[in-house]
Chains A and B, each alone.
Chain A
Amino acid sequence: DIVMTQSPDSLAVSLGERATINCKSSQNILSSDKQCLTWFQQKPGQPPKLLIYWASTRESGVPDRFSGSGSGTDFTLTISSLQAEDVAVYYCQQHYSTPLTFGGGTKVEIK
């Protein structure tokens, strides 16, 4: 199984400041020149919401303050200017191979 390791477990960021979340896969997840890495946002009582797919493609309707980057085994989700509505838990997930696996989540709060 591919293990997805996120860091940090939690972070507190001031409104308007940058938040950076890291995700490391235990092996390469590149397929047909695309990184099989997805980022989700989950708020309490809701299912995860797709933010970024193919590591860096923003889902339609997702604010452009969210961006994804990375390649190989190291990936990053960046929130360029944290807003109050961004308080949530963020997960990375690989769909390169089954079983599909998720990171442990990063809780983002307001400082």
Chain B
Amino acid sequence: QVQLQQSGPRLVKPSQTLSLTCAISGDSVSRNTAAWNWIRQSPSRGLEWLGRTYYRSKWYNDYAVSVKSRITINADTSKNQVSLDLNFVTPEDAAVYYCAGGFALDPWGQGTLVTVSS
């Protein structure tokens, strides 16, 4: 059974970087049919897919245009986890952030409520 455990700070100052990690158990981050996504949810934006990483002989990334200039998703094979960095955050980036596996988004991490405030 694949499980995803998220960690990271819940309070980020405006203009700083939001950084979250998603530890994977029961699967390999580099399995060549897997994909690892980051999604956020807020009352104003609903569920918004941010991007994903996957390994097919090399690492690939897809990002949403809305955050493409500010986002980085990386895989750490030594820790079997994926990370999200979102730079230059504003209050509009406040949301519950989720990691999710697969192309059809299953399973999901528990979610991290991130507040953007000084």
A107 CB to nearest B CB, Å: 12
A17 and B110 alpha carbons, distance in the complex (Å): 32
Asked if residues A91 and B47 are in contact (CB atoms below 8 Å), the reply is yes
Sorting the interface of chain B by its residue count into under 10, 10 to 19, 20 to 34 or 35 or more gives: 20 to 34
List A contacts of B98 (CB < 8 A).
47-48
Of B8-16, B73-81, B99-107, the stretch lying at the interface with chain A is B99-107
A53 CB to nearest B CB, Å: 5
Asked if residues B104 and A95 are in contact (CB atoms below 8 Å), the reply is yes
Given contacts A100-B49, A101-B49, A102-B47, contact A38 B65 (CB under 8 A): no
List B contacts of A59 (CB < 8 A).
106
Asked if residues A105 and B46 are in contact (CB atoms below 8 Å), the reply is yes
A38 and B100 alpha carbons, distance in the complex (Å): 14
Find A53's partner among B52, B100, B104 (CB 8 Å cutoff): B104
A46 and B100 alpha carbons, distance in the complex (Å): 13
Query: Which of B48, B49, B105, B109 is most buried by chain A, counting CB atoms within 10 A of its CB?
Result: B105
Query: Which of A91, A99, A102 is most buried by chain B, counting CB atoms within 10 A of its CB?
Result: A99
Asked if residues B49 and A47 are in contact (CB atoms below 8 Å), the reply is no
List A contacts of B48 (CB < 8 A).
102
B103's nearest neighbour on chain A, judged by CB, is A95
Asked if residues B49 and A99 are in contact (CB atoms below 8 Å), the reply is yes
Asked if residues A100 and B46 are in contact (CB atoms below 8 Å), the reply is no
Asked if residues A102 and B49 are in contact (CB atoms below 8 Å), the reply is yes
Jot down 22 A-B pairs with beta carbons below 8 A, ordered by A.
A48-B105, A48-B108, A49-B108, A50-B105, A53-B104, A53-B106, A59-B106, A91-B47, A93-B47, A93-B105, A95-B104, A95-B105, A98-B52, A99-B62, A99-B65, A100-B37, A100-B105, A102-B46, A102-B47, A102-B48, A105-B46, A105-B47
A: residues with CB less than 8 A from B are 38, 40, 46-50, 53, 59, 91, 93, 95, 98-102, 104-105
B: residues with CB less than 8 A from A are 37, 46-49, 52, 62, 64-65, 98, 100, 103-111
User: When A and B form their complex, which 8 residue pairs have the shortest distance between CB atoms, in order from nearest?
Assistant: A47-B108, A50-B106, A102-B47, A100-B49, A99-B64, A98-B62, A53-B104, A38-B104
